[in-house]
Each structure stands twice: as structure tokens, then as C-alpha cells.
């Protein structure tokens, strides 16, 4: 199927045309476009009569219904083509009605397959940015990392710490001693050693994104086999919580590849799909699924999971997953109007007056009138103030995932008399190039906490991926407040979180905007659906009940 031909068919009807307009439509040069038109005419799709002279109108006449023919071809190939081949065809420029029909047919290709192996096939809209624990700054990548690697300990939602690669530990005010499990296999068959843990922590400590988190740590060593010692002479009240983080995953580097010990390993990664295979030597209970395949699909494709042989009328149940919260971040360190508190307060007031409307932007979000700490943050309101004098338009960055909310915010600010200039950037650039956000006066940021809310908020403030990182380095009052965590025991952190959040809100630096939820439908035959890291399903626990 020729995607250029389909794109032209759905954008140009029979009649007068300009070659230049056709070229712009299908994104080819005029010379390439004329070659394509000649080819399509020979194939019998159309007739094309070129106008004589520059700017003269040509005539195009369709002799066949391209979309109808391609739809028949799609349906003829759906059983013989692989899922990834079919998913690529769905990315063509179909009309909305045809695309919906094709997706309904394609939906049955997704879900659980039980043939020679048990496989769960999951649609994905974007390719994973990374599988490296130290680089997984987005939740999609972090979810994969959580399944491919292990940490020495796990921090639970209720603040308890449980063992993973460590079977036990001893903790004093200045040292943590970890005792590792025996005979833990990496995915290449080698055995986990204490040196692997030491090297993983050294790499995390040296990564600039996590330098501040590791600052209290003075020494990481292995005095004997399967024993790791971490020294912190001035204390580190959060050492166990630090080692539970996704970036603190244990891995080894072999021939420029990173290898983990997790319940799944990465068997394939391409533009079309990513395949996770169960590790048969996993030191814990082996996953009941043999494979999990993430297949690239268009954005319109839904996230419903059911068996390949189940009808579309199969019973389903919905699992609510937390998709985090949205905030408006101000950059007062810029040499612009945003450095003035009265400007930030006025923006804050406009948001507060219109925040209840944000749920109209997307059905998954609801207004947040309190803060980021669910169950602890207190509601607040902003007093009315006059519009301050502005010297320049506000500069606002827009990331793809927050596009709708960002344009809504732009409208709110403009209604309040503020001029706003918008620049859209890709999600990948927003994650990997923090300079984009530093060049903005304000932007909307979405955040999802991993599992434990208290430590996640601390990590949100401290890591260099954070949208607040530059602010925490330039605002001396805020910097001092964050340094106090070193002297507070973990169980007392919530009160300090609230103190910092109050400072950010009162100074109009970080403004709560929305909470986000998603309802994910699952087949009633898919068992043990549990939400774990970053609101995603724990793949290691899933299994499929046999149909009667």
C-alpha cells in the first residue's frame, strides 16, 4: 500500500489542482510528485492532465476508490500478516470512519494468546525512550525498567521496606550493611556478586541527575562476598528508601549492553514492537506469562485488553489507575516579568478563578484545589488582585502530553489581559533537554509518583530531571528547606513536605492544577490485575483463566 496515494485520495477530490499543492499535501518535492502521478496513472488509480506553463491549473480525476481498495486489501491480509505489520498499516492516512472500522477488526488481534506459549499483547502509542535505569525519566520507560531489573529493597505504599536482592540488612546512624541473596542470576546466566551492586551504586552516585540524593554517602564497598557496606558519616535518614528507587536498580554492563535480574528480559526492541520474555531463572516466582509484546499502534487505538479468541462482547471490568497530577511551574530566575511576585500572583489568581473548568478539557482530569500530596494537602484560594504592568508577552512551553491543558491555560491568561507566546516541543526533548523548560516563563508539567507518596515527593524535589531543579538551586530559602530532610527521620517527612508545598504555593512558584485518573478495561478472564509502579499493572503477576 502506498501511503502517499492514500494521503492524496483523502485530501484531494477530482477536479482542478496545482502540482505544488499536491506536493505540499503528500510532503514530496514537485519533481517526486510528478513521478508519483505518472506511476499512479499507469497503475490505473487516476488520470492526470498537467497544465501548460507555471501556475496553470492541472486536472486530476480518480478512476478508483483508493481507500475502499486498500480496506479490502487490509482485511484480506489481517490473518496472514503479523500484528506489527498490520499495526503499521493502521498508521496510514485513513479517513476517520474507515480507520475506526479497521481498528475494531484489529482489536481482536490484541490481548491474550495461548498457543505454544502464554503471551499478552499490549498496544503502545510511542516507542520506549530508554531501558536504562539511570535514564528512565518518563513513566513508560520506568515501568519497563521495573520489570527487567531489581532493587536490593522495595519501599511499599505503607512506608514499610521489604527485601528484594538483599535478604537482610543492618542499619546504624552511619552505616548500612546489605546481605545479598545467593545464586541470583542475571539474564545472561551469570551470578550476581557484591561488586555488581557496588558498581551500580557508584554509577548512580556519579550521574549528575542523582548527585544531590547521594551527597550524604561517603563510601560504597564490599568487605566480603555477597556483603555491601554503604557509609554516611554525617547520617542519611533515607538510605533504604534511596536504594528502593527505580534508578537504584542493579545491573551489569556487558559488551555495551545492560543486563538485569528481573522477572522479564528484553528479547526484541524495534520500531514495530518490544518483546519481554519471562526469565526462567528468576530468583522469585517465575511469571505465569511467557511473553509480553508491546505493539506500535496509532494514537486512536484504545487500551482494552482481551483474548485473541474472545468476542468483542466479552465481559470486562475496569481498573482505576492513578495517572498523577498536573502543575503549573513558574521560572522566577528568568530575566523577565515572571521574576516579579505580583505577576506570578496574578497568573495564580487567574488559574484559581478558572480551575474548576479544567475538567472540561479532558474527561480523565479533575481540578486540584489543594496540592500534590493526596490526603494531606489543604484546600486554598487566591485573593483578587489587579493586573500588573507587563513589559513583554509571557513565554510558555507546551509538551505534547499536556497540549490541550496548556492551550486552555493560554486562553485563561489571555482572557485576563496577558499576552502569551507558545512554543510546542516534543515529549522526548522535554525529558532529555531541560533547557527547553528553562527558556520558558511558565509551563504545565505532569507528574506521576512511583508508589510511595512521601519518598516520591522528596525525589520530585531533589532529582535533576525535576521541573523544579533549577528553582531549588536558585531559591536560597527553598534550598535550605530541602536540606533539612537530611536531619529528619522518614516518618516525619509529611509535615515538612507540607511546609515546602505551602512555600511554593504562597510564592506562586508551583501551582496545583489537576489530578488525572484512567479507567482501563480488562477481560474478565485476565486474573491478578494489580497496580504497582507509576500506576501500571504488575506484569509479573498476570495470568489468564482458561475459557469454558
In three state form, how does the secondary structure of 21-39 look? HHHHHHCCCHHHHHHHHHH
Instruction: List, for residues 46-71, the tens digit of each pLDDT value.
Output: 999 887 666 568 889 999 999 999 88
Q: Where in the chain is the domain with CATH 3.10.105.10?
A: 321-517
Res 313: pLDDT: 54
Task: Identify whether the C-beta of residue 512 lies closer than 8 Å to the C-beta of residue 351.
Answer: no
pLDDT at 112 over 50: no
Average pLDDT over every residue of 86-111: 72
Helix (H) or strand (E) holding 349: helix 341-354
Q: How confident is the model at residue 118 (pLDDT cuts 50, 70, 90)?
A: confident
Res 204: pLDDT: 96
Instruction: List, for residues 253-273, the tens digit of each pLDDT value.
Output: 987 889 999 999 999 998 888
Res 461: pLDDT: 94
pLDDT at 342 over 90: yes
Mean pLDDT of the chain: 87
Q: Among 153-162, 264-273, 393-402, 427-436, where is mean pLDDT lowest?
A: 427-436
Query: Which residue did the predictor score with more confidence, 29 or 534?
Result: 29
Q: Where in the chain is the domain with CATH 1.10.10.10?
A: 3-64
Fold of the domain built from segment(s) 150-261 = Dipeptide-binding Protein; domain 1 (3.90.76)
Phi, psi of 68 (to 5 degrees): -65, -45
Average pLDDT over every residue of 513-522: 77
Q: Where in the chain is the domain with CATH 3.90.76.10?
A: 150-261
How many Å apart are CA 481 and CA 462, to the nearest integer? Answer: 12
Q: How many residues does the chain have?
A: 548
Res 439: pLDDT: 86
pLDDT at 516 over 50: yes
pLDDT at 280 over 80: yes
List the beta bridge partners of residue 273.
Answer: 295
Res 73: pLDDT: 86
Highest mean pLDDT among 139-148, 240-249, 395-404, 539-548: 240-249
Instruction: List, for residues 368-397, the tens digit of each pLDDT value.
Output: 999 999 999 999 999 999 999 999 999 999
Q: How confident is the model at residue 486 (pLDDT cuts 50, 70, 90)?
A: confident
Instruction: List, for residues 32-50, the tens digit of each pLDDT value.
Output: 998 999 999 999 999 998 8
Cell numbers describing residue 76: 484480506
Q: How many helices (H) and strands (E) does the chain have?
A: 18, 24
Res 44: pLDDT: 94
How many Å apart are CA 436 and CA 425, to the nearest integer? Answer: 8
Average pLDDT over every residue of 483-493: 91
Highest mean pLDDT among 54-63, 293-302, 517-526: 54-63
Res 482: pLDDT: 94
Average pLDDT over every residue of 74-78: 80
Average pLDDT over every residue of 195-201: 97
Average pLDDT over every residue of 358-365: 88
Average pLDDT over every residue of 143-153: 95
DSSP of 435-495, one letter per residue?
HHHHT-SEEEEEE---S-HHHHHHHHHHSTTSTTHHHHHH-HHHHHHHHGGGGS-GGGHHH
How far, in Å, are 15, 23, 161 from residue 49 at the CA level?
A: 10, 16, 74
pLDDT at 75 over 60: yes
How many Å apart are CA 171 and CA 490, to the nearest integer? Answer: 14
Res 137: pLDDT: 84
pLDDT at 435 over 60: no
pLDDT at 308 over 60: no
Q: How confident is the model at residue 303 (pLDDT cuts 50, 70, 90)?
A: low
How many Å apart are CA 373 and CA 457, to the nearest integer? Answer: 8
How many Å apart are CA 194 and CA 69, to the nearest integer? Answer: 62
Res 127: pLDDT: 87
List alpha helices for 119-231, DSSP H: 139-148, 194-206, 211-214
DSSP three-state, residue 325? strand
Instruction: List, for residues 228-253, the tens digit of each pLDDT value.
Output: 999 999 999 999 999 999 999 999 99
pLDDT at 179 over 90: yes
Cell numbers describing residue 469: 531543579
Task: Identify whether the C-beta of residue 278 lies closer than 8 Å to the C-beta of residue 541.
Answer: no
Closest C-alpha among 443, 352, 336 to residue 398: 443
DSSP code of residue 503: H
pLDDT at 295 over 60: yes
Task: Identify whether the C-beta of residue 26 lies closer than 8 Å to the C-beta of residue 33.
Answer: yes
pLDDT at 72 over 50: yes
The angle at the Cα of 415, spanning 446 to 506, to the nearest 5 degrees, equals 50
Domain 321-517, CATH = 3.10.105.10
Domain 3-64, CATH = 1.10.10.10
Amino acid at each position: 500500500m502506498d501511503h502517499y496515494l492514500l494521503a492524496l485520495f483523502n485530501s484531494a477530490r477530482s477536479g482542478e489542482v496545482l502540482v505544488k499543492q499536491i506536493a505540499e499535501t503528500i510532503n514530496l518535492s514537485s519533481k517526486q510528485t510528478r513521478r508519483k502521478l505518472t506511476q499512479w496513472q499507469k497503475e490505473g488509480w487516476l488520470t492526470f492532465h498537467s497544465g501548460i506553463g507555471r501556475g496553470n491549473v492541472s486536472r486530476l480525476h480518480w478512476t478508483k476508490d483508493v481507500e475502499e481498495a486498500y480496506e479490502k486489501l487490509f482485511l484480506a491480509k489481517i490473518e496472514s500478516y503479523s500484528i506489527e505489520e498490520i499495526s503499521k498499516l493502521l498508521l496510514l492516512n485513513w479517513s476517520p470512519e474507515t480507520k475506526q472500522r479497521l481498528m475494531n477488526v484489529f482489536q481482536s488481534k490484541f490481548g491474550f494468546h495461548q498457543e505454544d506459549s502464554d503471551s499478552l499483547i499490549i498496544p503502545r502509542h510511542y516507542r520506549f525512550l530508554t531501558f536504562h535505569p539511570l535514564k528512565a525519566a518518563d513513566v513508560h520507560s520506568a515501568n519497563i525498567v521495573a520489570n527487567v531489573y531489581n532493587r536490593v529493597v522495595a519501599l511499599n505504599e505503607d512506608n514499610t521496606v521489604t527485601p528484594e536482592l538483599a535478604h537482610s540488612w543492618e542499619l546504624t546512624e552511619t552505616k548500612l550493611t546489605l546481605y545479598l541473596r545467593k545464586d541470583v542470576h542475571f539474564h545472561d546466566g551469570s551470578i550476581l556478586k557484591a561488586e555488581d551492586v557496588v558498581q551500580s551504586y557508584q554509577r548512580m552516585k556519579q550521574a549528575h541527575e542523582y548527585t544531590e540524593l547521594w551527597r550524604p554517602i561517603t563510601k560504597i564497598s564490599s568487605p566480603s562476598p555477597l556483603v555491601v557496606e554503604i557509609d554516611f558519616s554525617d547520617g542519611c535518614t533515607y538510605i533504604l528508601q534511596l536504594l528502593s528507587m527505580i534508578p537504584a536498580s542493579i545491573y551489569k554492563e556487558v559488551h555495551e549492553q545492560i543486563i538485569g535480574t528481573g522477572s522479564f528480559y528484553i528479547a526484541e526492541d524495534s520500531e514495530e514492537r518490544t518483546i519481554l520474555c519471562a526469565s526462567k531463572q528468576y530468583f522469585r516466582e517465575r511469571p505465569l506469562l511467557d511473553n509480553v509484546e508491546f505493539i506500535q499502534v496509532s494514537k486512536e487505538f484504545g487500551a482494552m485488553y482481551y483474548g485473541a479468541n474472545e468476542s468483542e462482547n466479552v465481559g470486562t471490568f475496569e481498573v482505576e489507575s492513578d495517572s498523577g497530577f498536573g502543575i503549573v511551574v513558574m521560572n522566577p530566575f528568568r530575566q523577565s516579568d515572571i521574576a516579579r511576585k505580583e505577576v506570578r500572583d496574578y497568573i495564580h489568581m487567574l488559574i484559581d478563578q478558572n480551575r474548576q473548568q479544567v475538567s472540561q478539557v479532558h474527561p480523565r482530569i479533575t481540578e486540584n484545589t489543594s496540592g500534590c500530596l493526596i490526603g494531606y494537602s489543604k484546600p486554598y484560594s487566591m485573593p483578587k488582585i489587579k493586573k500588573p504592568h507587563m513589559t513583554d508577552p509571557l513565554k510558555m512551553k507546551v509538551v505534547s502530553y499536556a497540549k490541550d491543558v496548556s492551550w486552555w491555560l493560554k486562553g485563561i491568561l489571555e482572557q485576563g489581559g496577558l499576552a502569551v507566546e507558545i512554543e510546542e516541543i516534543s515529549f522526548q526533548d522535554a525529558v532529555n533537554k531541560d533547557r527547553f523548560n528553562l527558556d520558558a516563563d511558565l509551563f504545565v508539567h505532569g507528574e506521576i509518583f512511583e508508589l510511595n507518596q512521601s519518598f516520591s515527593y522528596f525525589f520530585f524535589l531533589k532529582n535533576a530531571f525535576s521541573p523544579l531543579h533549577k528553582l531549588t538551586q536558585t531559591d536560597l530559602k527553598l534550598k535550605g528547606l530541602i536540606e533539612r530532610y537530611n536531619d529528619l527521620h522518614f516518618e516525619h517527612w509529611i509535615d515538612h513536605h507540607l511546609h515546602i508545598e505551602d512555600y511554593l504555593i504562597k510564592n506562586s512558584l508551583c501551582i496545583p492544577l489537576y489530578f488525572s485518573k484512567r479507567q482501563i478495561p480488562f477481560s474478565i478472564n485476565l486474573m491478578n490485575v494489580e497496580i504497582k509502579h507509576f500506576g501500571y499493572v504488575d506484569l509479573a503477576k498476570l495470568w489468564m483463566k482458561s475459557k469454558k
